[in-house]
Amino acid sequence: MQNRRAPGVLLVAAAFAAALGYGIWLFNFGPYAAVRAAVPDRPLPEERFGYTGGDLYTFLDGYEKGLDQATIEAYANLQLFDTLNGVLLALALALFIWALAARLFRSGIPTLLLLLPLAMGAFDLLENFLIISVIRDLPMRYYGLAEGAGTATLLKMICGGLSFLSAVGLSVHAIYLRLARRKSDES
């Protein structure tokens, strides 16, 4: 018996389609593409697993080249547009995990499984807003804000990785149960 409160397949598919469509636009045609074109030779701070406040300011200073004002503004716009990306991805993952867990666990859904993608989304929002604050306050340097952005990125990546592992694990378990049920029906 299915949990009637669990999201349906169409809702989960729509959430993933929205996250995927927005992600394709953001990273191929939106502000990310403009920033990557301006700094093709190095990763953005949030693309690395852990960075310090000094790393963020070094990126904004542009190493030897110096980032121009247009590139810094494009980077701030990327952070602004990335807030929706984080929310859409967190929502899609949470709905997917909820839908699978509701079908697999009769006694209730383990709360931690649902909190992981939501925490990922919250840390992504925090990361984006802290980076925007750092950029807005230039040329002043508030290393606490920049360090907070690096920590939020690290926590986002940890929660995101655990969320994806949970989704894969639940999917494998659901497939296993379906195959076992099919095999017992054939016997």
What does the pLDDT read at residue 1? 40
Are the C-beta atoms of residues 97 and 117 closer than 8 Å to each other?
yes
Nearest-angstrom CA–CA distance, 126 and 129: 5
Those residues with Cβ within 8 angstroms of residue 10's Cβ, 6 or more apart along the chain or in another chain: none
Q: What is the pLDDT of residue 26?
A: 94
Kindly state the greatest CA–CA separation across the chain. 73
For helices 69-104 and 143-186, give the axis angle rounded to 10 degrees: 30
Peptide linkage before 139 cis (omega within 30 of 0): yes
Q: What is the pLDDT of residue 66?
A: 64
- pLDDT at residue 185, rounded to an integer: 81
155 vs 158: CA distance, rounded Å? 5
**Enclosing H/E stretch for 111:** helix 111-136
Angstrom distance (rounded) from CA 146 to CA 82: 17
Distance CA 121, CA 93 (A): 10
Residues of the chain with pLDDT under 50: 1-3
Place of tokens 């406040």: 53
* pLDDT at site 22: 97
SS3 of residue 178 by DSSP: helix
pLDDT at 2: 47
